[in-house]
A and B are shown apart, each in its own frame.
Chain A
């Protein structure tokens, strides 16, 4: 009987010690923030456009970490969905957007029409619009994420979203079509 008791006691003491160590470690080595949300946030395109229904990329990444769907990011497109699926080990889903994937855009202010109301400046999530009250505004194209948020507030509709690219610097070779995808008549032109 005493054997059983001592064994139980020994195990109890061991459990308590281990529990104390674990408890201490949980407090001492606590990770600040949500590491998973940060990893997800790093994969999102950071346009801060809010098309996912959240006010920015970080809130969406937190929502994904909390179990939301991964297919709500139109600017990221298929590539982002693929990357998120790889990270979270979930199924790839088709993009949940009416217009589908859009090319990278950049805002452009028709400066002659701008009345200097600063409404677009307040709407821009990345401070990419330069201007002051009653002064003409302009978009810093290299900082613009193409999020569209400045278009709506403009009272004179002088902001256009233009597709980026079409110049020599952005052009690049595309992959050759794999052999199987060529149809007979294309074979002569393919090379």
Chain B
């Protein structure tokens, strides 16, 4: 073995090793526990999301919780069994708080799920290799538990040129990596080869402390001729720290607040590398790990390969725990480990050691005394910090000073507290100060976020209010405009109507409403009676006719009311309404009359037609009575000009002509009474004559009767004409409205023009 240059790291201590207690026996398989508690968060990052349900049977190695996001790690079933609970369970944490976990009741079969091994990993692309590592649920097994796939895929500006394999295991008592390297050196080297294939570093350095000669020999033998260089380091705590190891092996220092990747280095624990080997070559996810069980309270200290989720109490029992002697149970080593609150907590992926100590082995530290500023702590600090200053700043909660003195570069190794002659629990001060600063920063971040959200909301509300105000303004303006237009209209057509316009229903409308409801009530009563008699089987002919009549009357009343109500618009007021109602009633009467006449003209009406006729007659009488009830319009509102008798005669003649024409048309359309047609035509001619006479009488020029002879228009022309009329209406509407954009107007004009052209073409062709 060639001795190569090693660099120095600052500080460091040499605590008693206590490694021989547990490193003498081979790694034992731990007994299968009845219940496994598999926490969802065994790593740094987001907890995994369960993908099984309570009661589901899972196989060994089956995915039970999927990674939740990029910085997360999936969780697999450590053994086959039934999922019995998903929820808060004990968790190996100093606080004793519960954490979400999946509990599996093992069935003892150890039935594996189907694995997909890839012994031929050299044919895989880096992305595929990375996917395998990610899906195998591997996170750092050294202690912090950072997701390995994230570490491997983080592409820094600089390419990774050095792969560093951490086999130092500097903390006292812990021998898990030692035994692993002794017994699984071949797998370790295989794992390194996979990593070399994945990230293609220029150098691979394996660092092992010189207090593990067997491990060194085994790894050296496994390396063989491969270009991996094994570096043997002098034993010193904490040479196993990532940054410290990099400094020892390469002399390069990871910048403050930076990552090894920033200087092109990547550091992985030997356990993690073996897990990568298992994941790629054997296809096995990370469901077990090697853990040191040690301490004077155990009768058989050893290393076990235990399933993730095994309660630590069962593991300790396996190692011969003498509970009477147990004083403190530490997870991790004596320097950086923490006390476990109970024996029910499960083993997780980052648990490398369980230290069951007796009271004499790890005595409680004496009460802290004031700092005497001896400076020993600064001498041993591996991160070259000033622990004493940090201590005082932490006491005074001077966060700015703490940050200025690089508190966040402290790796919490505990060397300072170890050498402190005043037994000051320095690391606890730093941990508390770090937490306080982080909490404050989070609070500030949240405050800033809340401020932004608040301001954005205020802005949004303001905009909404402005929009609403603008709309209201526009509405009031429009209303005022319409009112003004109406007033102008009123004054030109009928000055008296404006004052007469009532706010609510006009007298007429009220009257109509009452009439309509009365008619409805009477109709209902009659219908009821009718149904009563029909049930009894009596003679209902008369009643039926009565009901028919009432129904017609009610219908009529309702339609009159509707007409009166719908004509309420800003442009028309009560008097025009009355006119409309009158007109409507008149039309109704005329139509009914026409129908009655038509039926009467039938030579041999059947029973149905007769009853229909009867109903129509009754409707007609009702309509006539309604027409009479309506006030006759003031002549001024119908015809502003005083009509001379001659003019009236002319008008009547015109009406007569129109009626005759309509009758003729109807008969023509019906096409049945061919013998009636000549008589109708004669009547029309007579009416025309009468009209001409009337026109002569009133001295008005005779109208051009050309259009009487016009040909019926075809479909296309009609469509074109309709289009033209609509275009014209659109344009005039737009022109009427104030504030219409010029573009819209021009579009409408264009439409009108094209419609005109089309019509012209159609008529010419």
> Is the beta-carbon distance between A168 and B431 smaller than 8 angstroms?
no
- A45 and B91 in contact, given A173-B435, A174-B432 (Cβ under 8 angstroms): no
A171 within 8 A of partner (CB): yes
Task: Please give me the residue from chain A that is nearest to B433 by CB atom.
Answer: A175
> Is the beta-carbon distance between B367 and A179 smaller than 8 angstroms?
yes
**Contact among B99, B394, B447 with A175 in the assembled complex (CB-CB below 8 Å):** B394
Task: Please give me the residue from chain B that is nearest to A189 by CB atom.
Answer: B364
Count contacts on B: residues with CB < 8 A to the other chain.
38
> Inside 8 A of B429's CB, which chain A residues have their CB?
175-176
B:373-416 near A, CB below 8 Å: 394-395
In the assembly, what is the distance between CA of A168 and CA of B44, in Å? Answer: 12
> Is the beta-carbon distance between B453 and A143 smaller than 8 angstroms?
yes
Min CB distance A107 to B, Å, is 13
> Is the beta-carbon distance between A172 and B425 smaller than 8 angstroms?
no
In the assembly, what is the distance between CA of A44 and CA of B94, in Å? Answer: 33
Min CB distance B370 to A, Å, is 7
Mask: chain A, 55-96; 1 = CB below 8 Å from B; 0 = not: 011100000000000000000000100000000000000000
A:177-191 near B, CB below 8 Å: 178-179, 182, 187-188, 190-191
A47 within 8 A of partner (CB): yes
Task: Please give me the residue from chain B that is nearest to A125 by CB atom.
Answer: B454
Task: Please give me the residue from chain B that is nearest to A187 by CB atom.
Answer: B367
B510 within 8 A of partner (CB): no
> Inside 8 A of B97's CB, which chain A residues have their CB?
166-168, 171
> Inside 8 A of A56's CB, which chain B residues have their CB?
454
Min CB distance A91 to B, Å, is 19
Could you say which interface size class chain A belongs to? 20 to 34
Mask: chain A, 122-147; 1 = CB below 8 Å from B; 0 = not: 00011110000000000000010100
A46 within 8 A of partner (CB): yes
- A171 and B431 in contact, given A46-B451, A179-B370 (Cβ under 8 angstroms): no
> Is the beta-carbon distance between B431 and A173 smaller than 8 angstroms?
yes
Min CB distance A130 to B, Å, is 13
**Contact among A45, A125, A176, A188 with B443 in the assembled complex (CB-CB below 8 Å):** A45
> Is the beta-carbon distance between A126 and B431 smaller than 8 angstroms?
no
A41 within 8 A of partner (CB): yes
In the assembly, what is the distance between CA of A56 and CA of B461, in Å? Answer: 15
> Is the beta-carbon distance between A125 and B448 smaller than 8 angstroms?
no
> Is the beta-carbon distance between A125 and B369 smaller than 8 angstroms?
no
> Is the beta-carbon distance between A46 and B367 smaller than 8 angstroms?
no
> Inside 8 A of B428's CB, which chain A residues have their CB?
173, 175-176
> Is the beta-carbon distance between B449 and A175 smaller than 8 angstroms?
no
In the assembly, what is the distance between CA of A62 and CA of B571, in Å? Answer: 55
> Is the beta-carbon distance between A191 and B454 smaller than 8 angstroms?
no
> Inside 8 A of B394's CB, which chain A residues have their CB?
175
Min CB distance B435 to A, Å, is 3
Task: Please give me the residue from chain A that is nearest to B363 by CB atom.
Answer: A191
Task: Please give me the residue from chain A that is nearest to B460 by CB atom.
Answer: A127
> Inside 8 A of A166's CB, which chain B residues have their CB?
97
Min CB distance B465 to A, Å, is 13
> Inside 8 A of B325's CB, which chain A residues have their CB?
none
Task: Please give me the residue from chain A that is nearest to B338 by CB atom.
Answer: A173
In the assembly, what is the distance between CA of A47 and CA of B450, in Å? Answer: 7
> Is the beta-carbon distance between A190 and B453 smaller than 8 angstroms?
no
> Inside 8 A of B584's CB, which chain A residues have their CB?
none
Task: Please give me the residue from chain A that is nearest to B451 by CB atom.
Answer: A46
- A168 and B447 in contact, given A176-B368, A188-B364 (Cβ under 8 angstroms): no
> Inside 8 A of B457's CB, which chain A residues have their CB?
125-127
Task: Please give me the residue from chain A that is nearest to B395 by CB atom.
Answer: A178
In the assembly, what is the distance between CA of A44 and CA of B451, in Å? Answer: 10
> Inside 8 A of A190's CB, which chain B residues have their CB?
367
- A168 and B451 in contact, given A173-B431, A176-B368, A179-B367 (Cβ under 8 angstroms): no
> Is the beta-carbon distance between A46 and B450 smaller than 8 angstroms?
yes
Min CB distance A123 to B, Å, is 11
B41 within 8 A of partner (CB): yes
> Is the beta-carbon distance between B367 and A168 smaller than 8 angstroms?
no
Q: What would be 5 A-B contacts, judged by CB atoms less than 8 Å apart?
A: A173-B435, A175-B428, A175-B429, A176-B429, A178-B395
Name the 5 nearest CB pairs between A and B, nearest first: A172-B435, A46-B447, A173-B431, A46-B450, A126-B453
Binding site for B on A (CB under 8 A): 41, 44-48, 56-58, 79, 125-128, 143, 145, 166-168, 171-176, 178-179, 182, 187-188, 190-191
